[in-house]
């Protein structure tokens, strides 16, 4: 066993893995440690742990040395990628995972595995920019654009930080969910010009989770002086905006990408302390194809979590 291998641990009998899109397959895995290498110090056999979207990086670039390995140009995804030895990464479709301890996090005691899995994706994706951009203090006014898997965690985490949260959506369909079930303070329909004008210059930040092309000006107008529009949706079409909308309020358009291992550990402790959870639907492996079809139709509130260990894969 070489130096690299000595830091590896084997996670088998995965309890839960989080499904997102067909292209991404299964990622963010929670399971039990069944074997560790001799130099593994962070974990022991029997620990409940999680693995996020990244299982490798170069360890030598500026992001890696600064504990922001998610921005490493040589990062290795936990799904649909290739390890340094040429073998494919299989995410949660694998019966077991062998992972370097650097990319493993311990699930806090008392946190249910099925709840922890989506936090390793949507939870840290929201927590990371709020932390990095200094937006964790209470009393801020935030907007969540798009109430999906990431958006609903945005509402949950921002409210737990003591923020006044406004959900911004293209229709009235999710008003009740946002206000009654998630505890948002306000709800804006972006096509309602009167309400949008009334809300102008009222938000300190907006987390934009919309993954398709959309104009930015209506949302930039909602920001106060020095407000931040944080992009999280992966969009392959160039976005456009008029520069005076940004210049006259010294506003920032920025982006953020998942989160580091350090931020993931912080986020899990925060969620445990605040008693936060995500809205999920637990399914077995024999339902995966139907789940993926439903994902394409946006027919899930708000995350599928696949019970791998309970799916009798060996039969």
Residue pLDDT, tens place only, 217-262: 999 999 999 999 999 999 999 998 999 999 999 999 999 999 999 9
- Return residue ranges of the chain for CATH 3.90.180.10: 7-120+260-306
By the 8 A CB rule, do 158 and 183 touch? no
pLDDT tops 70 at residue 214: yes
pLDDT category at 292 given cuts 50, 70, 90 is: confident
DSSP label at residue 304: E
Which pLDDT score is estimated for 287? 85
Q: Which fold has domain 7-120+260-306?
A: Quinone Oxidoreductase; Chain A, domain 1 (3.90.180)
Give the Cβ contact number of residue 77 at 10 Å: 16
Q: Which fold has domain 122-255?
A: Rossmann fold (3.40.50)
| For range 84-98, the mean pLDDT | 82
- Return residue ranges of the chain for CATH 3.40.50.720: 122-255
C-alpha 206/C-alpha 245 separation (Å) is: 15
Distances (CA, A) of 294 to 41, 234, 238, 288, 302: 41, 20, 28, 10, 11
pLDDT tens per residue across span 165-209 = 999 999 999 999 999 999 999 999 999 999 999 999 999 999 999
C-alpha 122/C-alpha 279 separation (Å) is: 11
The torsion angles phi and psi of 114, rounded to 5 degrees, stand at: -65, -25
- The whole-chain average pLDDT of the chain stands at 89
Could you tell me what percent of the chain has a pLDDT over 70?
Answer: 90
pLDDT tops 50 at residue 2: no
DSSP label at residue 7: G
């Amino acid at each position: 066993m070489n130096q690299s291998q000595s830091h590896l641990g084997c996670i088998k009998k995965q309890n839960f893995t989080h499904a997102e899109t067909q292209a991404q397959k299964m990622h963010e895995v929670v399971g039990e440690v069944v074997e560790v290498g001799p130099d593994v110090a962070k974990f022991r056999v029997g620990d409940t742990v999680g693995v996020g979207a990244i299982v490798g990086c170069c360890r030598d670039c500026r992001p890696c040395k600064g504990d922001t390995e998610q921005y490493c140009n040589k990062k290795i995804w936990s799904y649909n990628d290739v390890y340094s030895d040429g073998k494919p990464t299989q995410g949660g479709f694998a019966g077991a995972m062998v992972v370097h301890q650097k990319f493993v996090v311990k699930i806090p005691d008392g946190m249910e595995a099925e709840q922890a899995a989506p936090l390793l994706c949507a939870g840290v994706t929201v927590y990371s920019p709020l932390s990095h951009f200094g937006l964790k203090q209470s009393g801020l006014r935030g907007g969540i654009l798009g109430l999906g898997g990431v958006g609903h965690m945005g509402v949950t985490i921002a409210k737990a930080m003591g923020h006044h949260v406004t959900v911004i959506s293209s229709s009235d369909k999710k008003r009740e969910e946002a206000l009654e079930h998630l505890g948002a303070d306000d709800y804006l329909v972006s096509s309602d010009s009167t309400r949008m004008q009334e809300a102008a210059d009222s938000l300190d930040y907006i987390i934009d989770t919309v993954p398709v092309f959309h104009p930015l000006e209506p949302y930039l107008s909602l920001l106060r002086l020095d407000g931040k529009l944080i992009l999280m949706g992966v969009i392959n079409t160039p976005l456009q905006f008029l520069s005076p909308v940004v210049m006259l309020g010294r506003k920032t358009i920025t982006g953020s990408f998942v989160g580091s291992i350090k931020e993931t550990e912080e986020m899990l402790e925060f969620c445990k302390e605040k008693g936060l959870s995500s809205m999920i639907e637990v399914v077995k492996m024999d339902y995966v194809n139907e789940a993926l079809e439903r994902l394409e139709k946006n027919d899930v509130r708000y995350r599928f979590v696949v019970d791998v260990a309970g799916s009798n894969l060996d039969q």
